[in-house]
Structure 1
Amino acid sequence: MDFKPLASFIDRITSWRVPWAEVLVLHRNEPVFRYRNGYANLEEKTPIGDGAIFNLYSMTKIMTCVAGLQLVERGDMLLSDPLSEYLPEYADMKVKKTMANGEVRLEQATRAITVRDLFTMTAGFSYDVGCPSIQEIVQSSNGTVSTREFAKALAKEPLLFEPGTHWNYSMCHDVLGALVEVVSGKKFGTYLRDAITEPLGMKDTAFDLNEEQQLRLIPQYAYNDELGQAVRMDGNGFRVGTELESGGAGLMSTVSDYARFLNALTGRGTSPEGVRILSQASVELMRTDHLNEMTRGDYSWDHMDGYGYGLGVRTHISKAGSGSLSAIGEFGWSGAAGCMAIIDPDSELTVMYAQHLLNSQEPYVQRRLRNVVYSCLS
């Protein structure tokens, strides 16, 4: 294995638009390469160091879906169950329908939202955290908004389509977090700690940080094309309430910590230390392509060519379609500030890539990074 090309790639993107980047490669449970470059704080020219904490954003979704699958494994719920069995506010949903003359009407939904729809992004929700019902609960709660209250508020919004008929990237996994709360009887963050992070020995992954961790939370940036530089932009716009433990975008972590979680999935649900967070059968279900003839056309992001969508993850289904050097069945997801997971049980490969740049350059960086990683293994 020669990882010089991967180091060169990290050097190249950190001299371009990305303030800092770090990659950790695990092969057969051993760290075979780790490299970082750039500045954690551009203004102070502070080099990126060990223990940096950053926003995972949508990489939170992988852990949320694992939590949900744990409850399926225990028989506490089925993917085919109507969501309203657990969250009654979703029993009577309206759907926005656009008529031939352009008029928009609200009609009674004829399909029930299922638990599966939350996992597969087919419930009919949007990703508009500024929608009226969410803003109303933000104001009436003085900005506290709990996970459960968030789900109740979202249920007041009309669906964009009949559940199960389209794929739309949305707040499905935030509602899944609320579902985990109701079914498990624990706060969502408490459930994640008890069932996933603590058993795996993860000490730096949470929705809220202690004082010591807060000191390690590093600045976040967005690239400004007019200025030709990255500009500081802290905060998480998806966390609209202080009590909201967002299953879609709320976790913070470090490279080392989240790699422990990802590597347990590479181990088909079991960590190298023997801690099992999922069965092998559940991991296989998670990385199975769940798109169908109704939904496949909606999953049309260019950088996902050759990939299907599983239970909260992309999953590699066509080398010809993707042009990717990764194995079929490689899976994972990424986050709004640019972090990315590569989970590959067949190759026994785990990659945790991190950066902290909104408008993350994902279509450019991540496909190239994946190809460079796999070329270095050969």
Structure 2
Amino acid sequence: MNFEPLASFMDRITSWRIPWAEVLVMHRNETVFRYRQGYANLEEKTPVTDRQLINLYSLTKIMTCTAALQLVEKGAIHLNDPLSDYLPEFADMTVKKRQPDGELAFEKAVKPITVRDLFTMSAGFSYDLEAPSIRDAVRSTDGKMPTRTFAEAIAKEPLQFEPGTRWNYSLCHDVLAALVEAVDGRRFGTYIRDEITGPLGMTDTGFDLSDEQRVRLAPQYEYSDALGKPIRKDGNGYRLGSEYESGGAGLLSTVSDYALFLNALTNQGTSPDGVRILSPATVDLMRTDHLVGNMCGDFCWEQLKGYGYGLGVRTHISQAESGSLSPLGEFGWSGAAGCLAIIDPASQLTVMYAQHLLNNQEPFVHPRLRNIVYACL
């Protein structure tokens, strides 16, 4: 293995727009390459360290779906169940429909939202955090916005389409976190700690930070084209309240910590020291392409050509379309500030890539980084 091309690529992007970047490559449970470059704090020229905490944003979604799939394994929920069996507020939904004259109408939904629809982003939700019902819930809870209250709020908003008929990147996994709470009885963050991060020895992953961890939280940036440089932009805009544990974008972690979780999935659900978080059959179901009908056309992000969508993850289905050197079945996801997870059971490969830049250059960085990693093996 020769990872010099990967180091050169990291040097290249951190001399371009990205303040810092770090990558950890594991092969057959061994760390075979780790590299970081750039400054965690640009103003103070502070180098990035191996204990730097970041906002994972949508990389949270993989863990949320893992948590909910544990409940599937226990028979507590089933993918084909109506969501309203567990969250009654979703029993009678309305759908926005465009009339022939161009006017919007609101009609009673014909199809129920299923548990599967939450996993596959096909429930009909949007990603509108400014929706009236959500903002009302923030105000009525004095800024606390418990996770279950969020679900009750979004249930008041009309759906964008009939459940199960389209794919739309949305707040589905935030509702999935509320479903875990409703079925299990524990707060979502407590469930995550008790059933996933605790058993895996992940001490730096959670929805809230201790005082010691807060010191290690990396500054967050956004690149300004007008100024020609990154500018500081801290905070997580997806955190709607002090008690809100966003299943879609709320976790904080380090590269080392989250790699432990990703590598357990690479090992078909069991860590190298024997901690099982999912069965191999469940991991295979997770990375099966669940897009059908019109959903296939909706899932059209440029950087994900050749990928389908599983239960909360991209999954590689066509090398001819993707141009990716990874094998079919490689899966994972990414986050708003630019982190990337590559999970590959066939190659026994785990990659955790991190940065902290909101306009993250993902369409350029991620496909190239993936190909370089595989070429280096």
The two structures have a TM-score, normalised by structure 1, of 0.99
1:39-50 to structure 2, matched below 5 A, reads 39-50=39-50
Paired residue for 2:151? Answer: 151
Query: Aligned equivalents of 1:364 and 1:351: distance in 2?
Result: 17
Check conservation: 2:313, 2:332, Cα contact below 8 A: yes
Query: Aligned equivalents of 1:118 and 1:49: distance in 2?
Result: 36
Paired residue for 2:85? Answer: 85
Paired residue for 1:269? Answer: 269
Give the AA of the match of 2:188. F
> Aligned pair 1:212/2:200, yes or no?
no
Give the deviation of 1:218 after TM superposition.
1.0
Query: Aligned equivalents of 1:277 and 1:17: distance in 2?
Result: 37
Structure 1: stretches of 5+ with no match in the other structure: none
Aligned-partner SS, 2:32: strand
Paired residue for 1:352? Answer: 352
Query: Aligned equivalents of 2:43 and 2:326: distance in 1?
Result: 37
Aligned-partner SS, 1:358: coil
Query: Aligned equivalents of 1:36 and 1:294: distance in 2?
Result: 41
RMSD (Å), alpha carbons = 0.4
> Aligned pair 1:290/2:287, yes or no?
no
> Aligned pair 1:142/2:142, yes or no?
yes
Paired residue for 2:128? Answer: 128
Moved over 3 A (4+): none
Q: Greater CA deviation, 134-143 or 162-171?
A: 134-143
1:241-285 per-residue CA deviation (whole Å, 9 max, x = no partner) reads 110000000000000000000000000000000000000000000
Check conservation: 2:145, 2:241, Cα contact below 8 A: yes
Check conservation: 2:165, 2:293, Cα contact below 8 A: no
Query: Aligned equivalents of 1:158 and 1:293: distance in 2?
Result: 22
Give the deviation of 1:191 after TM superposition.
0.2
Paired residue for 1:234? Answer: 234
Paired residue for 2:331? Answer: 331
Give the deviation of 1:294 after TM superposition.
2.4
Query: Aligned equivalents of 2:49 and 2:239: distance in 1?
Result: 26
Query: Aligned equivalents of 2:272 and 2:140: distance in 1?
Result: 47
Give the AA of the match of 1:128. D
Paired residue for 1:51? Answer: 51
Query: Aligned equivalents of 1:365 and 1:228: distance in 2?
Result: 19
Query: Aligned equivalents of 1:230 and 1:183: distance in 2?
Result: 43
Query: Aligned equivalents of 2:300 and 2:202: distance in 1?
Result: 35
Give the AA of the match of 1:354. A
Check conservation: 2:307, 2:315, Cα contact below 8 A: yes
Paired residue for 1:97? Answer: 97
> Aligned pair 1:172/2:172, yes or no?
yes
Paired residue for 1:244? Answer: 244
Give the AA of the match of 2:134. I
Query: Aligned equivalents of 1:50 and 1:248: distance in 2?
Result: 25
Give the AA of the match of 1:314. R
Check conservation: 2:22, 2:35, Cα contact below 8 A: yes
Query: Aligned equivalents of 1:327 and 1:50: distance in 2?
Result: 29
Paired residue for 1:305? Answer: 305
Check conservation: 2:313, 2:333, Cα contact below 8 A: yes
Percent identity, aligned pairs only, is 70
Give the AA of the match of 1:58. S
> Aligned pair 1:19/2:19, yes or no?
yes
Aligned-partner SS, 2:135: helix
1:177-229 per-residue CA deviation (whole Å, 9 max, x = no partner) reads 00000111110000000000000000000000111101101100000001000
Paired residue for 2:223? Answer: 223
1:88-135 per-residue CA deviation (whole Å, 9 max, x = no partner) reads 000000000110111111000000000000000000000000111101
Structure 2: stretches of 5+ with no match in the other structure: none
Query: Aligned equivalents of 1:241 and 1:328: distance in 2?
Result: 39
Give the deviation of 1:169 after TM superposition.
0.1
1:69-84 to structure 2, matched below 5 A, reads 69-84=69-84
Paired residue for 1:254? Answer: 254
Query: Aligned equivalents of 2:284 and 2:242: distance in 1?
Result: 35
